Amino acid sequence: MIGRNDTDRFARGTGRPRVVIVGGGFGGLWAARRLARSGRVDVVLVDRNNYHTFLPLLYQVAAAEIEPEQIAYPLRGVFRGQQRVSVALADVRGVDADRRVLHTDGPDIPYDHLILAPGSLTSFFGVPGAAENAYTLKSLEDAVRLRNHILACFERASLTEDPARRAALLTFTVVGGGPTGVEFAGALAELVRTPLARDFPELAGKTPPRIVLLEAADGLLTGFPEQLRTYARDRLALMGVEVRTRAGVAEVGPTDVRLGDGLRIATCTVAWTAGVRGHDVAGAMGLPVGRGGRVPVLPTLQVDGRPEIHVVGDLALPDGQNPPMIAPNATQQGRHAAANVLRLLKGGTAKTFRYRDKGAMATIGRQAAVVRLGRFAISGLWAWVLWLFVHLAYLIGFRNRLFVLVNWAWDYLFFERSVRLILPRVTMDDAVCEAPSEAAPDAAKTGGAGDAAPDRAGDSAGA
């Protein structure tokens, strides 16, 4: 963290306008890049981490497919050699909008324009026990924690002779049928069916691993064409994933999940990918907060009455629009806010933001993906190849691209995951749940993936 005695570093003095950006994610990073190229302003990028995380591949860290550092890149490395860009490792505490000063846990940082791009947090939709007992996927720490837990569950299952406890340890529940949930369920199925099956021969013939994907809506992958949703459902079923739609979660306990219809699933692992909300930093800064924890802003992405404050990415809710809380929207808004800042500094007026939907994609394991490009729908091998190319292209850093590609190739050729490490070390008592009182007879009440008709997507899983 920055010390109080470093305040002078951020004192005004260059004579150039200063733009402070909160958040080193997609919105903040793309805004900083656009401003840096202009050469007309000083930029201070504030983040609690010193790196940018490529969130679309976060689930692969949790599924032991790639290393966490392979999808992260140092923020200072991005702007190396650019003298007008500074990086401040700090937590935001608030803002004095009248004085135009950002408060952090280190020094106060004055600004001429402020761009807020802190991202989002997991939304649990008020489901009891979800925040305490579910695993989330919003940060590298989350992904590593979930990976460690999954591997620890197998280790503990190999040591127990109690069938009920072993079943709970080897039942992995994914909540949310959006792209992240679908991708993680597919990656997890490949992990437990091949690499971990080889690692734990003592479990062969006993309780087979079970993966359950829960979605509160009546289908998977909202916004995708019908044929792609059907393909995703069928592909997951082929991989052994149980897809349960219209399965809203009512409660998450340490050893089970209770659905809205009273059904209980004994499980020691609940991965929550069901939804997001705007970051809490907006409330700490005294900004208005609307639907989904997002800040209502003008169509220009400016806060009403505060034209020098711009909000982008998952936190922004432009008037009359409802752009998706995804990386392409954040990058578009980041560039747009930066361009508006430059227009305002030249005495011009800010322009209205319009989200340009370039499509959507999700991978479902080996040689399988779904891609929507305008009116075109692609599935299967070529969609998977396109998914690989796009994600490698947007990943920051040549080294990261190279190592991710190597890991993907190794996994593809040898059906092997190279990151099956419980690191940092955890004790078994900390890593896995206690034995359930009894196994929940859920299979007798509800069929598997074939009985549900997932024809609509969504990350929703509310009570």
Looking up residue 175, the CATH number of its domain turns out to be 3.50.50.100
Question: How many domains, in total, are found in the chain?
Answer: 2
DSSP class of residue 10?
A: G
- What integer pLDDT is reported at residue 14 of this predicted model? 66
Question: 138 lies in a domain?
Answer: yes
238 and 206 in one domain? yes
Residue 271 tokens read as 């991965």
Per-residue model confidence (pLDDT) at position 427: 67
pLDDT score for 436: 41
One domain for residues 218 and 173: yes
> Would residue 408 count as lying in a domain?
yes
Together in a domain, 373 and 392: yes
How far apart are alpha carbons 277 and 250 in whole angstroms?
A: 19
Give the whole-angstrom CA distance, residue 277 versus residue 315.
8
* Range 7-36 average pLDDT: 87
Q: Is the pLDDT of residue 4 over 90?
A: no
Q: Could you say which of 345, 380, 402 is where a domain stops?
A: 345
Residues 373 and 413 in one domain: yes
Cβ contact 384:232 at 8 Å? no
Nearest-10 Cα torsion for 310, 315, 321, 323: 120
pLDDT for the residue 459:
39
- 367 and 379: one domain? yes
Whether residues 79 and 103 share a domain: the answer is yes
Q: Assess if residue 113 is contained within a domain.
A: yes
Catalytic residue among 183, 190, 215, 242: 183
pLDDT recorded at residue 64: 95
385 pLDDT more than 60: yes
Q: Is residue 456 part of a domain?
A: no
Task: Work out the average pLDDT over 328-348.
Answer: 97
pTM check: above 0.85? yes
Q: Are residues 116 and 171 in the same domain?
A: no
pLDDT in the model for residue 8: 59
Distance, in Å, from the CA atom of 73 to the CA atom of 126, rounded to the nearest integer, reads: 34
Range of the domain at 222: 130-272+359-451
Question: 175-179, 329-333, 436-440: which range is least confident on average?
Answer: 436-440
Which of 345, 376, 393 marks a domain boundary?
A: 345
Please indicate, yes or no, if residue 261 is contained in any of the structural domains. yes
- Whether 381 and 250 map to the same domain: the answer is yes
Last-in-domain residue among 345, 369, 400: 345
Note whether 172 and 258 are same-domain residues.
yes
Whether residue 27 has pLDDT greater than 80: yes
Residue 350 maps to a domain: no
Give the whole-angstrom CA distance, residue 224 versus residue 458.
Answer: 10
- Mean residue pLDDT of the chain comes to 89
On whether residue 457 sits in a domain, the answer given is no
Same domain, 28 and 118: yes
Residue-wise pLDDT tens digits, 194-207: 999 999 999 998 99
Clarify whether residues 254 and 390 are in a common domain: yes
Asked whether residue 252 is assigned to any structural domain, the reply reads yes
Same domain? For 258 and 405 the reply is yes
183 is an active site residue: yes
